[in-house]
Structure 1
């Protein structure tokens, strides 16, 4: 089960003249390399949910992506592209001497993991895609469906605010809050690592790449779609998703159909954070997959 653990090592890596900070836990021969969501979030929430894998003999590595957490925070929007983050991920992997890894990507980190797997296939032992998608136009349609459940009047209100650029209006923010508690984390009290990451969110990368919130994709990733390229990924894959996830089971099923060697776990009482919402089901699924592909 998750708990907050101090890293055994904190490593600074130079990425194109900027400092990126990585965190390493444990000394195992098998490495779980974590790519967190956002964009623009520190890695705390995903790092603290997975550092406990050291109990099973794994090494766990996470890093604050450029622009987040303890890493440098340049303001040049040209830096906020998925291709640059792919090369950043590769430089962290090689700088730390990780060899082949079990690559675990959550949410935006899953898009990054898919792009990385297609670019650097020889770096992977397995691919773990958590609460994510391979097709953002499909996801955008699914998000419209989810917010449609708020009712036509609320949807009309949200569309009007989006057209007017008044996304900070209290009634619009109230609707986003409802969606977050339905589809991002359904716990009454959100765990400290989630709150810590959210409190330090850099909206520069997020707004440039995704958009102003979790339910409006208008950034430079809005047309990203690797669904037709999934058959090129040869390594075993695990897909996990919450039944109530903002990145829906429809998106997960599409990835399952596209990948050659994938298994899918749906957590019935979770949304976007099964490792916090449903840990008694989540960790056995993850550890069972990893155990099958050790060595």
Structure 2
């Protein structure tokens, strides 16, 4: 189960002239390399949920992606591309001497993990795709379905504000808050690591790459689709998804159908953060998968 653990090492890495900060836990021979969601979030929420894998003999590494957390925060929007983040991820892996890793990506980190796996396949042992998708146009349809549950009047109000560019209006934000509590984290009190990451959100990368909120994709990833490329991934893949996830079970099944060697776990009573919402089911699914594909 998750708990907050102080990292054994905090490493500053130069990436294209900028400083990126990474955190390492444990001394295991095999590494779980975590790519957190966002874009624009510090890694706290994912790091604290997975550092406990040291109890199973793994080394766990996470890092604050450029623009987030303790890493440098440049303001050039040209930096906010998935391709640049793929190479940043490779730089962190190489500088830290991680070798071939169990690559774990959550949400946006899953998109990054997919592109990384397609670009640097020799560097991963397994791929763990958590609460993520591989087809943005399909996700857009699923998000419309989730929004429709708010009722036609509310959806019309949201569409009006989106057309007007007033997505910061209180009535629009109220609808987003409701959707967040239904499909992002269903706990009445969100865990401290989640609150820390959210309170330090850099909206520059987020709006450039994704959009103004979790339910409207207008950024440079809105047409991203790797379903045709997924058959190229030949390592074992674990897909986890909450039954109420904003990145829905239908999106997860679309990935599984395209992958050559994947298993999927739909986690009950959970949305976008099953490691906090339903740890009793989440951790056995994860540790069981890792154990089955352990080399040592």
- Please report the TM-score for the alignment, with normalisation by the length of structure 1: 1.00
CA distance in 1: counterparts of 2:168 and 2:129, whole angstroms: 32
3-state SS, counterpart of residue 213 of structure 1:
coil
User: RMSD across aligned C-alpha pairs, in angstroms?
Assistant: 0.3
Alignment of 1:19-98 (within 5 A): 19-98=19-98
CA distance in 1: counterparts of 2:208 and 2:267, whole angstroms: 31
CA distance in 1: counterparts of 2:168 and 2:290, whole angstroms: 43
User: Residue 67 of structure 1: CA displacement?
Assistant: 0.1
Aligned to 2:262: 262
CA distance in 2: counterparts of 1:21 and 1:280, whole angstroms: 31
3-state SS, counterpart of residue 62 of structure 1:
strand
CA distance in 2: counterparts of 1:158 and 1:134, whole angstroms: 26
Aligned to 1:245: 245
CA distance in 1: counterparts of 2:171 and 2:205, whole angstroms: 25
Alignment of 1:113-128 (within 5 A): 113-128=113-128
User: Residue 64 of structure 1: CA displacement?
Assistant: 0.1
CA distance in 1: counterparts of 2:86 and 2:205, whole angstroms: 14
Alignment of 1:185-204 (within 5 A): 185-204=185-204
Residue by residue, what CA displacement relative to the aligned partner does 1:143-167 show, whole Å, maximum 9, x if unpaired?
0110010000000000000111111
CA distance in 2: counterparts of 1:281 and 1:258, whole angstroms: 25
Instruction: State yes or no: 1:233 paired with 2:217.
Output: no
Aligned to 2:286: 286
CA distance in 2: counterparts of 1:236 and 1:177, whole angstroms: 36
Count residues with an aligned counterpart.
Answer: 295
User: Residue 98 of structure 1: CA displacement?
Assistant: 0.1
3-state SS, counterpart of residue 280 of structure 2:
helix
User: Residue 268 of structure 1: CA displacement?
Assistant: 1.3
3-state SS, counterpart of residue 21 of structure 2:
strand
3-state SS, counterpart of residue 37 of structure 1:
coil
3-state SS, counterpart of residue 141 of structure 2:
helix
Aligned to 1:107: 107
Residue segments in structure 2 that go unaligned for 5+ positions in a row: none
Residue by residue, what CA displacement relative to the aligned partner does 1:217-265 show, whole Å, maximum 9, x if unpaired?
0000000000110000000000000000000001000111111000000
Residue segments in structure 1 that go unaligned for 5+ positions in a row: none
User: Residue 168 of structure 1: CA displacement?
Assistant: 1.1
Runs of 4 or more above 6 Å deviation:
none
CA distance in 1: counterparts of 2:250 and 2:82, whole angstroms: 23
CA distance in 2: counterparts of 1:216 and 1:142, whole angstroms: 11
User: Residue 59 of structure 1: CA displacement?
Assistant: 0.2
CA distance in 2: counterparts of 1:32 and 1:259, whole angstroms: 21
CA distance in 2: counterparts of 1:123 and 1:103, whole angstroms: 9
- Please report the TM-score for the alignment, with normalisation by the length of structure 2: 0.99
Residue by residue, what CA displacement relative to the aligned partner does 1:64-114 show, whole Å, maximum 9, x if unpaired?
000000000000000000000000000000000000000000000000000
CA distance in 2: counterparts of 1:165 and 1:100, whole angstroms: 45
